[in-house]
Structure 1
Amino acid sequence: MEQIIQLEKAANVRDLGGYKAINGIVRMNKVIRSASLSELSFNDQEKLQQYGVKDVVDFRSPSEATKAPDKTIPQAAEYFLPVFGHDETKVSISPKELLKQLEQGMTAKAQMIKVYRHFIEDEHAQAAYRKFLQILLENDTENTSVLFHCTAGKDRTGFGAALVLDLLEVDAQTIMADYLATNRYLNERISAMVKKAKEQGAPDLLVAGIKDLMKADALYLKESYTAAREHYGSLKNYVKTGLGFTEGEIKDLQKLYLIK
């Protein structure tokens, strides 16, 4: 069961600790996934500091970060690691622009599948996830956490969480369950967006597009695994060959983040 961290002004904030792996259990207070931190309250900032957050990794695009800059967590280092040069996930796109793209033939589901392939294939994305794993390897103090996020905490963050859990040898079913749990924590936000769109007379095409863009879909994450197998043989080999990590470094990651 995922470990939610209840905050006043941030959604989908979860400690990845507690999951069973082949050789142990993922440590608590070591790695946290989240949606945007741009609206954190003072209490939220204090809570995350007390929780041990010492590094914050922002996967958003430059335009997303400029539009809604993170609220800082006291004494935490900040790393801006945009997975893409622009928001390929479309979660920050305006309804008007989204409708325009849908009318021009883009399907939201096909766009998301492309995004999840790009996590594996795109050099910009590889650089971001390479640095992310390096930051995790340097987090060698007990009860200090690395928090990583994007805008919704769904796609760039969802893949990042799957990547970490896969390297820690958590089973595939649990990894997928963690990924899909986002739908529960963003359900209220998605419902509000859909309701607002309908009240404003949005066509069915736009409503369906919003739903496809905003939900976590097993088909999306599976596409990352498919791309990893096609190019590298497995997700672990993507980390070794594509991102340049040794077997020893992966073992070091397991020592840091697993309780035997």
Structure 2
Amino acid sequence: MTSPLPSRQIVLRGAYNVRDLGGYLTAQGSPVPMRRFLRGDCLHRLDEGEPERLHFEGLRMVVDLRTAREVRDAPSRLARQRGVEWVNLPLFDALSPDALAEIDVPDGHPLLAMYVTAVETRGEAIETILSRIATVREGAVLFNCTAGKDRTGVIAALLLGLAGVSHTDIIADYALTEALIPELVAEFLSRSRANGGDVATYATLLESPASAMAGMMAHIDGRYGSVMGYMDHINVPTNVLSRLQVRLGVTE
């Protein structure tokens, strides 16, 4: 398994969980190129100079997976960065932190059910997101949500799966979030506590359990045979898949 740290984490003032998907080994045994695909958390508190720094380092597009309300309440600092295209393409409303705080937790961990629900009910949104990401031919595209683990984690897993990255690495990449966002989790829990929420339940939903991503990948394999089979199911165009695979370092 390829070690996920330290080179993949992009340390930014005002964000916690911005990482490069580069370095993981593809099905061909070559690494996913660096600075092609970045995953991230909330970007509305980036310090002055950080958006410019990201652009200087090659950032060309940001795909914000948050809901319209989240975007309105916490506008991305990258939305007005010159030279960077910013687009809001919500993935799944029920995966926003505020919505998670109101969910009743069934027996067992709820995140697996939520990820499977996203895969099964949000195919059109996923196809739109991947098609938009594929329009970037040079430089990096960053996709983000609020904590950078649920909505962002689903898209990251699908991209890495498209490159044939091992499930072991995909799961490890997802689980890495837990070590990077303790301050963000504390902030979410404090806000929930102040609003009279069920903090214990909410804390469970802010975890990044390897079992949740392992279960999602197993579901995709069991129902569609592979991530590529899932892409066919949700009608991702062949030319989009080809462009993504080229950018992921997968050769035909």
Amino acid in structure 1 at the alignment position of 2:241: I
CA contact (8 A) 2:131 2:240 kept: no
Residue type at the aligned position of 2:87: Y
Number of residues paired by the alignment?
A: 243
Task: Provide the residue aligned with 1:41 in structure 2.
Answer: 47
2:21 equivalent in structure 1:
16
Change in Cα spacing, 1:20 to 1:153, as seen in structure 2 (3 Å) is same
Counterpart amino acid of 2:182?
Answer: N
> Is 1:156 aligned with 2:151?
yes
Following the alignment from structure 1 to structure 2, what is the Cα–Cα distance between the partners of residues 109 and 9?
34
Could you tell me how far apart the structure 1 residues matched to 2:149 and 2:128 are? 20
SS of the equivalent of 1:42 reads coil
Matches of residues 12-91 of structure 1 in structure 2 within 5 Å? Answer: 12-23=17-28, 24-72=30-78, 73-84=81-92, 86=93, 88-91=94-97
- d(CA) in 1 for partners of 2:27, 2:15: 32
1:135 aligned partner: 132
Whether 1:258 aligns to 2:249 is yes
Q: Relative to structure 1, is the Cα distance of residues 146 and 196 closer, same or farther in structure 2, using a 3 angstrom cutoff?
A: closer
List, as ranges, runs of 4+ consecutive aligned residues in structure 1 with deviation greater than 6 Å: 195-198
Give the alignment partner of residue 175 of structure 2, picking from 153, 158, 180: 180
Contact 1:33-1:148 within 8 A present in 2 as well: yes
Structure 1: distance between partners of 2:173 and 2:119: 20
- Of residues 166, 173, 183, the one that matches 2:161 is 166
Q: Pick the structure with greater CA Rg.
A: 1
The alignment's TM-score, normalised by the length of structure 1, stands at: 0.82
Residue 228 of structure 1 is aligned with which of 220, 231, 237? Answer: 220
Q: Higher helix proportion, which one?
A: 1
Does the 8 Å CA contact 1:168/1:257 hold for their aligned counterparts?
A: yes
Please give the root-mean-square deviation of Cα atoms over the aligned residues, in Å.
Answer: 2.7
Question: Is the contact between residue 63 and residue 133 of structure 2 (CA under 8 Å) also seen in structure 1?
Answer: no
In structure 1, list runs of 5 or more residues that go unmatched. Answer: none
Alignment partner of 1:146 out of 141, 144, 160:
141
TM superposition score normalised by structure 2 = 0.85
Q: Is the partner of 1:33 in helix, strand or coil?
A: strand
C-alpha displacement at 1:44, in angstroms? 1.2
Please state whether the residue corresponding to 1:21 is helix, strand or coil. Answer: coil
Q: In 2 relative to 1, CA 67–55 (structure 1 residues): closer, same or farther, beyond 3 Å?
A: same
Aligned residue identity for 1:47: R
2: CA distance between counterparts of 1:40 and 1:114? 32
